[in-house]
Amino acid sequence: ATHEETLGFQTEVKQLLHLMINSLYSNREIFLRELISNGADACDKLRYAALDNDALYEGDSELRIEIDHDAEAGTVTVRDNGIGMSRDDVIENLGTIARSGTAEFLKQLSGEQQKDARLIGQFGVGFYSGFIVADEITVRTRKAGSDKSQGVEWRSKGEGEFTVADIEREAHGTEIVLHLKEDAREFADDFRLKSLVRKYSDHIEVPVCMPKVETAKDEDGNDIEGSETVTWETVNEATALWVRPKSEISDDEYKAFYKHVAHDFNDPLTWSHNKVEGKLEYTSLLYVPGRAPFDLYERDGARGVKLYVQRVFIMDDAEQFLPLYLRFIKGVLDTRDLSLNVSREILQQDPKVDKIKSALTKRALDMLKKLAKDNEAYQTFWNTFGSVLKEGPAEDHANREKIAGLLRFSTTHTDSAIQDQSLADYVSRMKEGQEKIYYIVADGFNAAKSSPHLEIFRKKGIEVLLLHDRIDEWLMSHLDEFEGKHFVDVAKGELDLGDVEDEEEKKAQEETAKAKEDLVKRVQAALGDEVQEVKVTHRLTDSPACVVLPEHEMGFQMRRIMEAAGQ
């Protein structure tokens, strides 16, 4: 080996290694899934790159992953003939965590959270999970298409630094050798490894192979010395999961596949698998994650589906196929309608992309509607992604009504900060004669709940939605009606309770207004230009006065958002 240098891991890697080794001990078998997943990604990438340049296969186009072990030496080896890495790639990929926002996320974790395996899993533990079972890892790799002298060896004990050196390497692709810790030697075992491959990696399209040693026998049935031959046996199913018929796929297989595509450690909440033939031809497998990624609200956060064209992997994070308000959906789209050499630029112009997008949007919304039948699961979804879904009515007019049906609110019916009431629930409880859906927007739940604007509604037993999310006013400005009932902000304009009020009450109100004309004039004079108008109101039953906005005026919350945005 030449040109050897020792480099330090990026700080975040050190932190991640430390957290992982401590919190994932009881899940340590997942290292194999992670390394196989990387090998499969590497094969996908080579197949894609070779579309333009067959020579990259270097005469070896049967992509595969091999898993080997040596019980005596205590090693497990995971090898692929995929794309491989250059020296720069190795330093970048196996020395840092490339995804943005990770550092901040790690800093925010409390001591308790650091012990939570599922939280750590949010990064996709990836390559570094090898160090849960190994006290040293050696990686040998060469980028497909590069000269044999361009091989790279990476070595590390996972303790803060790693070494890279140039080596000669005949084969392209990557080989990862795990030197197992004393207490993890159980993994250097044929049976154990085989069952882990079946458990976690059946759905990987690339064959995962293990060696089978056969010895020729003599006439008496004894082994003939020196006659061992090794054949490589495929141990996984090795068909892309989404291609198989739904009826043959178990829930566990769907879940395992989710972990591979979403780089998530946790189970998904639900999924929807569809094969479409006709004008459009595609297969989609969409998932709703159970947890929010840490970059959900970041402009350049990862989103979109994994795109395949006729089974060939094209790109990760193809964001053109789902609207922004469904950016939490993960999954795979495989289509015959695009050409193999699509690029992100072409995706932006192709009208077929829009058609698939609107079809996938419907699928995703239907999947959520189905999920909503399970109250507990839906509440988990809503608490995690509800405020993202609230961006929907503004972004997607065509599906406004559908999205509205998926929204959940706090209301005076429960007087709880938990948003768990649907608009259908509200409508089913509407008073006789009530024509509108009433809501109030405030900065926080308590401010909404104790607003004087609600007094008359509480007295009459009319339910009001208590909106207290930052985005709620924005949401309501894009929702006109639900099931034909208009939305009314109780803090704006004239208050019309429709037929819920009877004639007598109206008459009494008019009389009061007349009797108090003098008082109104005096208050108006005292407040001068600070208000537009002073009126007698029947909104209040206990409080003496409140501020009301004109009907078409921007609300307080919106004003603050606009001001914050520098408008």
111 marked ligand binding residue:
no
Nearest-approach distance from CB 157 to ligand ADP, in angstroms: 18
Q: What is the Cα–Cα distance from 380 to 291, expressed in whole angstroms? A: 9
Q: What is the Cα–Cα distance from 358 to 320, expressed in whole angstroms? A: 11
Instruction: Out of 84, 95, 121, 126, point to the residue binding Mg ion (CB under 5 A).
Output: 126
State how far the alpha carbon of 193 is from the alpha carbons of 182, 394, 519, in Å.
Answer: 17, 50, 86
x/- letters, 249..268, toward ligand ADP (CB under 6 A):
--------------x-----
Region binding ligand ADP by CB under 6 A among candidate stretches 1-9, 121-129, 409-417, 545-553: 121-129
Determine the size of the site formed for ligand ADP (CB under 6 A). 16
| Cβ nearer to ligand ADP, comparing 34 with 391 | 34
Nearest-approach distance from CB 226 to Mg ion, in angstroms: 40
Nearest-approach distance from CB 35 to Mg ion, in angstroms: 8
Q: Using CB distances below 5 to 8 A depending on partner kind, what does residue 105 bind out of Mg ion, ligand ADP, none?
A: none
The residue whose Cβ lies closest to ligand ADP is: 126
Six token digits for residue 264: 């998530």
- Asked if 30 touches ligand ADP (CB under 6 A), the answer is no
User: How far is CA 91 from its chain centroid?
Assistant: 28
- Asked if 361 touches Mg ion (CB under 5 A), the answer is no
| Cβ nearer to ligand ADP, comparing 41 with 334 | 41
Site residues for ligand ADP, 165-184, by CB under 6 A, read 174
SS3 content of the chain, % helix, strand, coil (to 5): 40, 20, 35
Q: What is the Cα–Cα distance from 515 to 530, expressed in whole angstroms? A: 24
Q: Which amino acid, residue 269? A: L
Instruction: Out of 12, 29, 66, 80, point to the residue binding ligand ADP (CB under 6 A).
Output: 80
| Cβ nearer to Mg ion, comparing 95 with 126 | 126
| Cβ nearer to ligand ADP, comparing 21 with 377 | 21
Q: What is the Cα–Cα distance from 19 to 23, expressed in whole angstroms? A: 6
Region binding ligand ADP by CB under 6 A among candidate stretches 7-15, 80-88, 107-115, 479-487: 80-88
484 marked ligand binding residue:
no
Nearest-approach distance from CB 448 to ligand ADP, in angstroms: 41
| Cβ nearer to ligand ADP, comparing 82 with 304 | 82
Q: What is the Cα–Cα distance from 84 to 171, expressed in whole angstroms? A: 10
| DSSP run (H or E) holding 92 | helix 87-93
Q: Which amino acid, residue 290? A: G
x/- letters, 458..497, toward ligand ADP (CB under 6 A):
----------------------------------------
| Cβ nearer to Mg ion, comparing 75 with 129 | 129
179, β-bridge pairs: 75, 136
x/- letters, 412..431, toward ligand ADP (CB under 6 A):
--------------------
Nearest-approach distance from CB 197 to Mg ion, in angstroms: 16
Q: What is the Cα–Cα distance from 124 to 41, expressed in whole angstroms? A: 14
- Asked if 38 touches Mg ion (CB under 5 A), the answer is yes
Sheet holding 151-156, edge to edge: 2-8, 161-167, 151-156, 134-142, 173-180, 75-80, 65-70, 208-214, 229-234
101 marked ligand binding residue:
yes
124 marked ligand binding residue:
yes
Instruction: Out of 74, 82, 151, 293, point to the residue binding ligand ADP (CB under 6 A).
Output: 82
Determine the size of the site formed for Mg ion (CB under 5 A). 2
| Listed residue (392, 387, 411, 391) closest to 402, CA to CA | 392
> Assign residue 233 a region: left if phi > 0, alpha if psi is -120 to 50, beta otherwise?
beta
Q: What is the Cα–Cα distance from 232 to 462, expressed in whole angstroms? A: 72
Nearest-approach distance from CB 83 to ligand ADP, in angstroms: 6
- Asked if 39 touches ligand ADP (CB under 6 A), the answer is yes
137, β-bridge pairs: 156, 178
| Cβ nearer to ligand ADP, comparing 295 with 469 | 295
DSSP 463-525: -EEEE-STTHHHHHTT--EETTEEEEETTBS----GGGS-HHHHHHHHHHHHHTHHHHHHHHH
DSSP 194-237: HHHHHHHHTT-SS-EEEEEEE--B-TTSPBPTT--EEEEEE-S-
Region binding ligand ADP by CB under 6 A among candidate stretches 120-128, 193-201, 244-252, 516-524: 120-128
344 marked ligand binding residue:
yes
Site residues for ligand ADP, 122-141, by CB under 6 A, read 124, 126-127
Q: Which amino acid, residue 417? A: A
Antiparallel, parallel or unpaired: β 330-335 and 305-309: parallel
The residue whose Cβ lies closest to Mg ion is: 126
Contact 326, 307 (CB under 8 A): no
Instruction: Out of 9, 30, 32, 38, point to the residue binding ligand ADP (CB under 6 A).
Output: 38
Binding residues: 34, 38, 80, 85, 93, 100-101, 122-127, 174, 344
Binding site for ligand ADP (CB under 6 A): 34, 38-39, 41-42, 80, 82-85, 93, 124, 126-127, 174, 263
Binding residues for ATP: 34, 38, 80, 85, 93, 100-101, 122-127, 174, 344
Binding site for Mg ion (CB under 5 A): 38, 126
